[in-house]
Structure 1
Amino acid sequence: MKRLKYIQNIAIAVITLSFILVSCEDDSEIFTAEATPPVALSELPTSMIELDPNNAGNPAATFIWSLADFGQPAAENYSLQISADEAFTEPYTATSVSGTNSVTLSMGELNSAAGTVGLPPFEFNTLYARIMSSIGTQNGLPVASNSISFDVKPYFNYPFKDYYIVGNATAPDWNNNNNNPALFRDASNSNVYRYTGYFGAGEFKVLEVKGLWQPQWGTNDGSTIDVNPGDGSDPGTFPNNNSPIAAAGFYTFTINFGSNTFGFEPYDASGATTFSSMTIQGTAAGGDVAMTQLGFDSHIWFINSVNLGQGDLNFLTNTGATWAGDTSFSGQATEGGGSIPVIVQDDYDVWFNDLTGEYILIPLNL
């Protein structure tokens, strides 16, 4: 009996060793992918698409193309690129998919793509589309398809961010939803915002959304700006990381979100005219609409939630002088300076600084 058991153990050992030896043999194969021929992107069934802001979730266009062939059974990736020119100088990737050869963009998605590549609103202009094929998790061996073109009439995309001040050195105090004055955006550099006006002895911060404490901007070192986007620690206060403004007075606060820097300098308002009233007028306003003087600072004027149509706009003082600039949404007004273009109808918060002539029109629904 013991001999039989011994023979069985030897047999098992031989089988096990054979399995190990066979397993150790290098029988792997090297798989090499090759660049696919360009996939063929089909023309759209319509050559003109008018986008509807009231149905932003509805389908706008379905793009269909042939499948790629990289010579290996690996994940095939496809990116739909949109461009304002046939050379795809600055393409925008509208969406990416894997393992399928069609994708549908909604009205809102196609409108966003059109705005991103620079198509103006409310008129038909040509867009170009192509498919970029690639393989694997690293999007290797990218190959562009043929391009197709079609005309699109976008609705408006508001491309800017707006910012507001809060703090015990400002009119709203530490209330994040108390008619917080807006910073005035530079018309030629949308990263630069300014606020020239009266500041009390104290501190302040910058908010991105009225009624919310984050995103919240301040400074931790007194020279660069810091932000809590909503999942971090709140930064220190302006003007110098919890070192308050020592003397109340007029100052110019400048913040540059491109370079992450800021400035806070005294401003001489001693010779400035104090107006007793201010109105907006023009075809966009549909008549004269009175502005309200900020009680904290007599040089800051505002209107909340005023409906403006497409047209022109200027500011009229109690002296009969009109002030305006030539850039929409924000800019620098001068006396007798023509008309501010309002390019899209909406409800707006309007702010005007009679010390500097700066204005900003903030759409509430775009």
Structure 2
Amino acid sequence: MKNNIFKHIFLAVTLILGLISCDNREIITIDNVSSPIVMDLSANSLVLDKNFPGNPALTVTWQSAAYSVPTEISYRIEIAVDKDFAKPYTLATVAGSQRAAAFTMLQMNDAAAAIGLVPNVSAKMFMRVISFLGSGHSLAATSNVTSLMVTPYVLTYPDFYLVGGATYVGWTPEKAQILYKKENLSYIYTNLQSGENFRFLGQLAWDGKNYALNTPGTKAGNQYFKQWSDVLTKPDGDEENIKFTGATGVYKITINATLGVQTIELKQSPIATYDFPEIYLVGNIAGNGWNETNAIPMTTIGDGVYEFTSTLAGDTEFKILGQKSWGNLDWGNISGDGNTGFVGPKGDNGNIKFAGDGSSYKITVNLKAGTYKIIKI
């Protein structure tokens, strides 16, 4: 009996030691032996040309890093305005056996804008290469720092055209609705349909640039917006579009196209509907003289569209009212006085200013689309 007990104890101890031994054999330590070294920049200075955005501008080459165990290594090329890289910007990430990366005029100009270089002014751009393992960027090692002088050009921000089932225009790209653009911001007040999909185009056609959410499952070429309002999401089983989940109504869509920011915000308009029995014009138009109690009624065409025809002088200014008073229903030129062709509600508008020549003009206001037109007839 005692022998059996000793045998069982011996076997148990042997098994435990064996398991420990196996675990020890599976622990592998990987150390960085040498960091990557930037060997060459194809230029010491760059004067970027907006007329040739696709032309080659710069090639960066480096010597590979070394680790104590053969493994897949990735490289991240970073730039900054200072040699200490207080705010580094990732120019590119390269995996596998590549030891060089090439960049176009447009890519380098976008990169210069991202780190805050001033257009048309020559300034120093610092560059380094970081090696790492895996998606967690473990065992990172940093190269030496090198630099070049860069003269960027004035950045041109993209145009955004709205199209899709959630929109006023439907899925016809030739009718896609352009947003009003002012430098890095594009915006519009327009009606959106709950539960429907949409996207932004960079042109009045499917072929070319398409813009959607930068989220897993969206086609790589369509990924653009880095942050978005919570009423937007990626549709199930759809790799190209955006789904609008808010309540149906008029929203202000605001896009910030600043490189690296690239946000889209939706905020419901203070005038959330578009179809009114009657709307009016008030201003120095058709003898009104800014008398709101005698505001001029427009003809209702239907579905939020209204028209009025009159002779217009060179100093014409007017606004649109939903009542014969200065009440809450008030529209004008978006974000201030002017003639942009886009309407904004009370609190975000100014007078519509138009230089006529005394001829007859048709004024068309489309509150569903968020636009107006003044056409000579």
TM-score (norm: length of structure 2): 0.50
Count of equivalent residues: 261
In the other structure, the counterpart of 2:91 is 94
In the other structure, the counterpart of 1:273 is 283
In the other structure, the counterpart of 2:36 is 39
Change in CA separation of 1:358 and 1:129 when aligned onto 2, cut-off 3 Å? farther
Superposition map of 1:1-366 within 5 A: 31-42=28-39, 44=41, 46-95=43-92, 96-136=94-134, 138-160=136-158, 162-164=160-162, 174=170, 176-177=172-173, 180-184=176-180, 190=185, 193-195=187-189, 207-209=199-201, 210-212=204-206, 224-226=231-233, 228=235, 231=239, 235=243, 240=248, 253-255=251-253, 261-266=266-271, 270=280, 272-273=282-283, 296=305, 318-320=313-315, 332-334=335-337, 351-353=341-343, 356-357=349-350
1:127-177, Cα deviation, whole Å (9 max, x unpaired): 11100012356432012222212111234543456243778995x5x4734
Report the identity percentage.
Answer: 20
Amino acid of the residue matched to residue 86 of structure 1? Answer: K
The 8 Å contact of residues 163 and 200 in structure 2, kept in 1 or not, is answered as no
1:294-349, Cα deviation, whole Å (9 max, x unpaired): x94569xxxxxxxxxxxxxxxxx944379xxxxxxx984447xxxx9xxxxxxxxx
Q: CA deviation at 1:70?
A: 2.1
Alignment RMSD (CA, Å): 5.2
SS of equivalent residue, structure 1 residue 111: helix
Change in CA separation of 1:237 and 1:43 when aligned onto 2, cut-off 3 Å? closer
1:108-139, Cα deviation, whole Å (9 max, x unpaired): 33233223333343432321110001235643
SS of equivalent residue, structure 2 residue 108: helix
Stretches of structure 1 lacking an aligned partner (at least 5 in a row): 1-24, 218-222, 246-251, 277-294, 300-316, 323-329, 341-349, 360-366
Return the alpha-carbon distance in structure 1 between the equivalents of residues 123 and 253 of structure 2.
36
Return the alpha-carbon distance in structure 2 between the equivalents of residues 358 and 179 of structure 1.
27
Amino acid of the residue matched to residue 224 of structure 1? Answer: V
Amino acid of the residue matched to residue 208 of structure 1? Answer: F
Q: CA deviation at 1:106?
A: 3.0
The 8 Å contact of residues 35 and 141 in structure 2, kept in 1 or not, is answered as yes
The 8 Å contact of residues 226 and 235 in structure 1, kept in 2 or not, is answered as yes
Stretches of structure 2 lacking an aligned partner (at least 5 in a row): 1-20, 214-229, 256-262, 287-303, 318-332, 353-377
Amino acid of the residue matched to residue 73 of structure 1? Answer: P
Amino acid of the residue matched to residue 65 of structure 1? Answer: W
Change in CA separation of 1:72 and 1:180 when aligned onto 2, cut-off 3 Å? closer
SS of equivalent residue, structure 2 residue 63: coil
The 8 Å contact of residues 198 and 243 in structure 2, kept in 1 or not, is answered as no
